[in-house]
Copies of this chain bind each other. A is one copy, B any other.
Amino acid sequence: MDPAHRVTLEAAAETIRHRTYWSPFPEHPRAYGGDGGAAFDALRDRRFELGQPGADGWTGGEISPYGFPLGIEYAHHDPDVLLPAMRAALPAWRAAGPLTRALTCVEILARINGRTAQFAHAVMHTTGQAYPMALQAGGSHAQDRALEALAYAYAEQTRVPGAATWEKPQGRRGTARLDLEFTPVPRGIALLIGCHTFPTWNGYPGLFASLATGNPVLVKPHPGAVLPLALTVRVARETLAEAGFDPNLVCLAPEYPGEGSARDLAVRPEVRIIDYTGSSAFGDWLETTARQAAVFTEKAGVNTVLIDSTAAYRGMLTNLAFSLTLYSGQMCTTPQNLLIPRDGIATDEGHKTHEQVVGDLAAAVTALLSDEKRAAGLLGALVDDRVADRLAAAAEAGDVLLASRALTHPEYPAATVRTPLIVAARDRAAALREWFGPISFVVPVDSAEDALTLLRRTIRDHGAMTVLGHTTSPEVEAGLVAACLDECAQLSLNLTGPVHVNQTAAFADLHGSGGNPAANAALVDGAYITPRFRTVEVRRGA
């Protein structure tokens, strides 16, 4: 294996401790050679072979949000054959130890990184992300999060030494001596239940955390976004086999249309870990029902922006407009509720009334999307019809402040492209649930205190992946920090430059907190890793 992998692993583990910027995976498209489009096209209209045991049929049916069927079929498998085969692969992988497992995982990632352009097309044509975003969020940034997770896994497994000599002085009776041996032991088979919008970015952390801690991983992709994870599984299986391990350590389990196999797989006794991104209803069901497994969920939430005052009015508007627009707001981190004082706000351009702030924000969104080609490159396509339905419903939930427009994608005219909708919520209740998509609500507040009270209630009752505050007041800032510490939400303050609230950087930022209803886990902290393995001690009398 490439000796540079050890350096990469250690740099990742070191960066996690210092939280500076670092990544081994470039994010510029020009860093990735080869014809990704051709490589993607070569996969279309044929069967995708993985060679897993227990195949009992074929399934498929992915349709690009850009308006064409992928035409790819994947083998469906009998879990009664597949799961025992995966379980049989465990002991040798356990015996390989944390370092070999981590380095093998780095090699998997290096190979995935080498195919980033192909992955980007696969992500684009399953999620609707625009190509530049699919390459970054679905490619290099997903690889970053994977590396972060496996570096964490390596670190957590090696906090205890592999072996130690224990010697206790016993006075006249000499010294008691034992040889101690410590082995990280995986829990069993890990089930990754993929999501439609971010199959790699949201899927990789759990996949690599589980695999690096010794667990075989069964990947159950979302039926609409199989290809990015199928490619991932293929690379993982090839790498594992070449390294002398059983490729069945990583398997794909696509479902038949309407099968709902996640519900059955999740309660199999062999499945001891579950990672899930998706609806609160199914996430809550998993947490309650799959008691044999450690369950890590990311579910729905209601992200709030509190606009109290700003020293950079234009920067705030531009930054926020971008956050509302990116990938048509189809990110779990996209702001939804904009809390703006009825009496307006103080800015570096003087006082702005409530109506001015809303109008200027709407204008900033409109300006950002004035060029149709650039607009398509930011918005991407709606992932499914439900988002368009939600847009229509949201427009009825209050007064429309900025109407959503339908754009024609310059390259893919069949794609559904919609600009952000901003609505003055008729009442707060309408805004207190997740409206996934390019939908935000302006919620007038009487005061900063009123806003903070609403923020606390929103996080506590509905969860939040992100909170954004704009304020120049130390008191309001302290109130925001206190609210987010009390309710356990990740807070960004005064983002007016190139960093946006809906983006987090691996090795530095935490994604989610695990402490509010939006998610029971954070990417990535110790609590995301430690339940995935146990440590068995063998002590021998000397």
Contact = CB atoms under 8 A, between A and B. Distances in A.
Contacts of A485: 91, 94, 183, 185, 536
A452 B281 CA distance: 44
A526 to B, nearest CB: 4
Nearest to A169: B21
A389 to B, nearest CB: 33
A494 B178 CA distance: 10
B508 A536 contact: no
Interface string A506-523: 001110011100000010
A21 B536 contact: no
B526 A180 contact: no
A117 B170 CA distance: 21
Interface string A206-237: 00000000000000000000000000000000
A510 B538 CA distance: 10
A539 B491 contact: yes
> How many copies of this chain are found per oligomer?
2
A84 to B, nearest CB: 14
Contact of A541 (B156, B176, B497): B497
Nearest to A178: B499
A18 B161 contact: yes
A287 B294 CA distance: 12
B536 A491 contact: yes
Contacts of A164: 18-20, 508
A289 to B, nearest CB: 11
A261 interface: no
A530 B540 contact: no
Interface in A485-506: 485-486, 488-499, 505
Contacts of A156: 526
Contacts of A538: 481, 484, 491-493
A348 interface: no
A453 interface: no
A263 interface: no
A240 to B, nearest CB: 20
A405 interface: no
Contacts of A170: 498
Contacts of A527: 530-531, 534
Contacts of A498: 170, 173, 176
Given A161-B19, A525-B160, A539 B492 contact: yes
B541 A19 contact: no
A427 interface: no
A498 B534 CA distance: 28
A192 to B, nearest CB: 20
A125 interface: no
B514 A537 contact: no
Given A17-B159, A486-B91, A508 B166 contact: yes
Nearest to A95: B485
A526 B528 CA distance: 11
A496 B525 CA distance: 42
A494 B169 CA distance: 20
A165 interface: yes
B536 A530 contact: no
A47 interface: no
A497 B185 CA distance: 28
A83 to B, nearest CB: 16
Contacts of A183: 485
Interface string A1-43: 0000000000000001111110000000000000000000000
A411 interface: no
B535 A513 contact: yes
A534 B188 CA distance: 25
A299 interface: no
A267 B526 CA distance: 26
B508 A535 contact: no
A535 B522 contact: yes
Interface string A353-389: 0000000000000000000000000000000000000
Contacts of A173: 498
Contacts of A525: 160, 530, 534-535
A183 B493 CA distance: 15
B166 A21 contact: yes
13 contacts: A20-B165, A20-B167, A156-B526, A489-B536, A490-B536, A493-B538, A499-B539, A509-B537, A510-B535, A510-B537, A513-B535, A525-B534, A526-B530
Given A19-B160, A490-B536, A491-B537, 11 more contacts: A19-B166, A94-B485, A166-B509, A182-B510, A185-B488, A185-B513, A491-B536, A491-B539, A492-B541, A510-B535, A510-B537
**3 tightest A-B contacts by CB?**
A19-B164, A527-B530, A515-B534
Interface of A: 16-21, 91, 94, 156, 159-161, 164-170, 173, 176, 178, 180, 182-183, 185, 187, 287-288, 291, 481-482, 484-486, 488-499, 505, 508-510, 513-515, 522, 525-527, 529-531, 534-541
